[in-house]
Amino acid sequence: MSAHDATTPTRAVPTSTTALASQNARPTPTIAEEVWGILRTCYDPEIPVDIVELGLVYDVRVKEREDGSTGVEVDMTLTAPACSMSEIIRLDVEHKVNGLERVSDVTVNIVFEPPWTPEKMTEAAKLQLGMF
């Protein structure tokens, strides 16, 4: 064995497709990441921007229980307290989050403190809505 061989780090080469797949696999997202991702598919039917980009989602809490079940609680608001779509949006969020494989149950809280303002929107949402 030469001196070069002794100091050169070696890298194990995977010998099976399983080993290759595990080296290229992305880490499993957390339940919270999955919830935030699914919330990006929820829309106020009157606005063509998802509720996360609109700044309507204030908090997502994941509760892993001793019995192995996982509860999720979402605090969100609406663009206006008298929003006629409030129940439709709430049910959409509840249905989609409950549909995640690792979620046992979900509670969606509609809150109005702090009140929503357009400043809570992302720059992308403002651009999409022509607010510049």
- List, for residues 88-97, the tens digit of each pLDDT value: 999 999 999 9
pLDDT at 9 over 60: no
Long-range (24+ apart) CB contacts under 8 A made by 125-132 are: 125/49, 125/53, 125/54, 125/55, 128/48, 128/49, 128/53, 129/47, 129/48, 129/49
- List, for residues 36-75, the tens digit of each pLDDT value: 999 999 999 999 999 999 999 999 999 999 999 999 999 9
